[in-house]
Amino acid sequence: MFEPEMKILYTRETIATEVRRLAAEISTEFSGEEVLMICVLKGSFLFFADLVREITIPVVVDFVRVASYGSETQSSGIVEIRKDVELSLKNQNVIIVEDIIDSGYTIETLYHRLQQRSPKVLKVCTLIDKSRRREVDFTPDYVGVSMEDGFIVGYGLDLDERYRNLCEIYLVENA
Ligand code: PRP
């Protein structure tokens, strides 16, 4: 089995600080209203759980599972919804929550599919933005941290489904 060499890139404290900042931004922007937060499974599950608990305005939650085809490190651009959102988005303040945006194919496809359901507002929040790897033109509304290249795991992110449970985010140096 492949043994990754891992070095901490973002500590628990750094992640928690960014999560609080993002939650405060969202709470302020939608003050007096309700937000419908959508977790993009699986990678976002920890970020989502922490983010919604820091939001101080009314929140409802839903989940979507999106599969993108390609290699472990490179998306092909073919994106399919495997498990759809269950709540109606009509006239709702909807925020899609991603762990990472890389090529942008996944979020671009999901954004346009959900936009067709007539939300009042549709925003995107990502913990990590690899904007320099973008292959489509997509800019998220809320960004935790930006990074250049490099394969990362932990805090929801996997390597062959492993390491999602780590509390920190690690750079895999021999990926
Ligand atoms: C990851 C991540 C995003 C997507 C980003 O999901 O959670 O959804 O890839 O890549 P892109 O910008 O190049 O499309 P992945 O397909 O690895 O599934 P997972 O969340 O279940 O790990």
CATH code, domain with 38: 3.40.50.2020
Q: Which atom of ligand 1 is nearest to the CA of 106?
A: 14
Amino acid letter, 80: E
> Over the stretch 78-106, which tens digit does the pLDDT of each residue have?
889 999 999 999 999 999 999 999 999 99
d(CA 118, CA 70): 30
103 lines ligand 1 (CB under 6 A): yes
Whether this model's pTM surpasses 0.85 = yes
Provide the domain count of the chain: 1
Instruction: For residue 31, report the distance from its CA to the centre of ligand 1, in Å.
Output: 30
pLDDT tens by residue, 1-27: 788 899 999 999 999 999 999 999 999
Provide the residue range defining the domain that includes 41: 6-172
In this prediction, residue 75 carries a pLDDT of 67
pLDDT given at position 125: 98
In a domain, 1, yes or no: no
Distances 86 to 53, 60, 83, 135, 174 between C-alpha atoms, Å? 21, 12, 9, 29, 40
Find out whether the beta carbon of 163 lies less than 6 Å from any atom of ligand 1.
Answer: no
In-domain check, residue 158: yes
List the beta strands (DSSP E) in the chain: 6-10, 35-41, 59-70, 75-83, 93-101, 121-129, 142-146, 152-153, 169-172
Contact predicate 149/135, CB 8 Å: no
